[in-house]
Amino acid sequence: MHVPARSSALSPVFRVLSLLALLSFAAVSSRAVIVRGTVTDPLGAAISGARVQLVQGKSVAGSALSGPDGSFEIRSTGSGRFLLLTAAATFTPGIGQSFYGGRTDVITRNVTLEIASVTAQITVTATGVPTPIQQASSAINLVPFSALQTRVGVVDDLRQSPGVVAVQTGQYGSVGSLFVRGGNSDANKVMIDGVTSEDIGGRFDFGTVSSTALDGFELYRGPNSVLYGSDAIASVVNFTTPRGATLRPVLNYSGDAGNFHTWRNEVTVGGAHSRLDYYGAFSRFDSSNALPLYRYHSSTSAANIGYNITANTTLRFTIRNAVSATGTPNAHDFYGVSADGKQSDQDLYSGATVENRYHRWHNLVRYGIARKREQLVLFQPSGELLMVPSFFGPYPDYFGNTVTIRGANGYTATGQASFLAGTTFPNGNDQSSLRDELYFQSDYTFSPHLIGLFGFRYEDERGSSNNPTFFSFDTTKRTNYQYTLQFQGDFFNRVFYSLGGAIERNNLYGTAGTPRFGIAWVPVRPSNQFLHGTKIRANAATGVQEPSLSSEFNSLYKQLADAGETDLITAYNVRPIQALRSRTFDVGVDQNILNQKLILKAGYFHNQFSHQLDFIDPGTLLNVFGIDITKTNLFGALLNTLAFRAQGFEGELQFAPTTHIMMRGGYTYMASLVEQSFSTDAAANGTSAENPNLPGVPIGSSYPLVGQRPFRRPPQTGFFAAQYTTTKFSAALKGAFASRSDDSTFLSFADTQGGNTLLLPNRNVDFGYAKLDAYGTYQASRRVSVFAELGNLLSQQHIGPIGYPALPFTFRTGLKVRVGGD
């Protein structure tokens, strides 16, 4: 029996070989990139049995099936750029964003799969961390990259959200303002790649924002000063720049032309290699517009460059520079002649971000800058030079042609209106708003059901306003701090909450606290069955806004201090201008009706805006507040004495009957009311302004009267979009409508006798409108497509506020060429 002896002799050899094999496997494993994560549905529930593939280039570097808890792990001996492809029964396949992985890196990439026929939507604006929109308690709209592909700007797409009024005072390049749920046009926080981008005090011109280098944007409706600090008292708008992803560089060119001498050229280039991803863009747009002296041109350049120091540590640099100039014909319908002027803007936004993920801990540090400068100049007088009588004697002024002004409310006025341009030319004003910002965020995932976030923001703001004509030069400097603490999580993947607060320390108005609480409950989980998928949400928050530069310079405190009247400041206890505030509560329901193809969203909101700014004339200061400033020769000042509310209903319906057709529409009814005002119009010597030709009709010449609606907030607004898409062809029809709204002609003391005959009653003076646009794209080949855009098909002239004619029917047609890429 020699077999046992032989077997015993081989055992040491076998053990040595086994040990060598194990060591070899360990060596290979130590040089493998490891990708771990969990696969969940939009409500955070684990998905087991999902196939997750790690793709590098055109090959699969590794794959795994998710376990009962949704977890997966993939190992690969390769290094470089990867992406994850994930598939599971009854869910839409997921394609992740590309990332870098080295041979010794352990990387966490969680995957959220959407139920079939539902588009994946992730929001960062609502909570500060990537969150499926199905878990958010707030009202959010996401405008994708595809919606902006053939657009010139963003104003029309801003109108494609409930509760939003986008007002543009004229044509291409004119000022574009956003009124969200009754808030003022400067009550919106605007972020570009995470960098605060509005002027000091909230003003932001959406009319000059090009669609170039925009990867879409998020529109958060409601206050969110908890995360974003001052100015986020009505909404947050978050723009992002695309990132390069293709392993081979890809160059895209787009060129088009249209009526009114309109043309546009755009070039973008992007790609990714190993640790680096890059994207750059440049565009130029020109148009003569439809009025004399109204030529507009703008240039936009942008870049987004990322570098993986390690697989879990990224350095990213973004920059966006926009330069534009437009003619300023003024409210042409009031004058019948264009003013000879120009508005120039130079806007630069840039940020450098270091971001690290270590297991459950995520840290981010960003340094951002915003450099905003504008110059307004009137080159020479326009209109007719006339002598205007006044209490101090006749003075010269320039007037437009004789016109008849007609409001949507049926009232009319005929006469010549003053340009109020002064008699010294050139006449102009320069303004700058500069900001340096440091932001730190640290969030930790305690469990799949609880995330804590701490944030710190530091701002160094400088601003100036220079008007050589009136020998006026004002400057300000503000150093601001913000501390944020927030928790978010869920119970049983059914109840989702977000609870936080912030302390804002502003150099101008002092300290303010801003709490926020949101909750969403999903009593019926989404599925492809009838009426399966119900989310009920509620949100309560406060917001705070710092005053703008002009508000600070024209405040009562600042003007008294500049005049050396410290005794009046002490006698009447005059304080520096204070923060503007908001308080909101909203509830809503999102209901799947039919197989995730027909979805209804409805909600109610109630907003209270307090400590808003009023212009108070000397008579009102004396009669109402007992402040006598007649010795200072001031014409008036700003105080925090205005308050108004806005409440209403929002509804939105989405319907996708087939894979080729997508339709959506929305409607908002809003009731707004001015509750308190001591402005010149509301209490000047106890009476409001009046047009002598309309005796007994009170008029707010500059501000709305108590009991009326705030200006430019129509009670009814809506939108719709219908899109048909095939492999080679896509067409879309989009529209937006608004009812009549309150406003002013702002022509007090502006007629040839220095009177109010050109003022019209405020109620419903702005026309309602329906703007209808059509778009089409045809893929002529793999690399070339042609497109056309037909704007304002109904050629409505009253899309802007009274006095400012909109562009009539416009068309643009062009082509897109793609070179390179995967």
The pLDDT value recorded for residue 14 is 47
Cα–Cα distances in angstroms (integers) from residue 263 to residues 255, 297, 733, in the given order = 8, 10, 22
Q: Is 780 helix (H, G, I), strand (E, B) or coil?
A: coil
CA angle (290 as vertex; 289, 291 as ends), nearest 5: 100
Cβ atoms of residues 760 and 402 within 8 Å: no
- Give the span between the Cα atoms of 46 and 117, in whole angstroms: 19
The pLDDT value recorded for residue 721 is 95
| Number of other CB atoms surrounding residue 352 within 10 Å | 16
Beta-sheet pairing, 361-380 with 384-388: unpaired
Cα atoms in the 13 Å half-sphere on the side-chain side of 356: 9
The pLDDT value recorded for residue 702 is 86
Give 10-residue mean pLDDT values along the chain (822 residues): 43 50 44 86 88 88 89 88 88 86 86 70 76 88 89 94 95 96 95 95 94 94 92 94 93 97 97 94 97 96 96 96 95 94 96 94 97 93 85 81 96 91 75 96 94 96 82 85 95 94 93 94 87 93 93 88 83 88 95 89 96 83 73 77 95 92 96 86 58 91 91 97 93 96 93 92 96 96 95 95 96 96 78
What values do phi and psi take at 565, rounded to 5? -90, 60
Tokens of 728: 């080679």
Alpha helix segments (H runs only) across 323-464:
332-335
Instruction: Report which of 744, 697, 719, 713 is spatially closest to residue 651, judged by C-alpha positions.
Output: 719
- SS3 for 123-139, per residue? ECCCCCCCEEHHHCCCE
ω before 42 within 30° of 0 (cis)? no
Q: Is 579 helix (H, G, I), strand (E, B) or coil?
A: coil
- Give the span between the Cα atoms of 391 and 662, in whole angstroms: 64
**């450098």: which residue's tokens?**
352
- Give the span between the Cα atoms of 800 and 792, in whole angstroms: 13
Domains of the chain: 29-112 (2.60.40.10), 133-239 (2.170.130.10), 250-820 (2.40.170.20)
Look up the pTM and report it: 0.90
β-bridge mates for residue 663, sequence order: 655, 722
Instruction: Report which of 407, 381, 397 is spatially closest to residue 753, judged by C-alpha positions.
Output: 397
What values do phi and psi take at 133, rounded to 5? -65, -20
Cα–Cα distances in angstroms (integers) from residue 653 to residues 116, 180, 591, 809, in the given order = 18, 19, 10, 28
Tens-digit pLDDT profile for residues 7-19: 444 455 445 445 4
Tens-digit pLDDT profile for residues 544-598: 999 998 899 888 888 888 878 888 888 888 888 999 999 999 999 999 998 878 9
- SS3 for 143-197, per residue? EEHHHHCCCCECHHHHCCCCCEEEEECCCCCCCEEEEECCCCCCCEEEEECCEEC
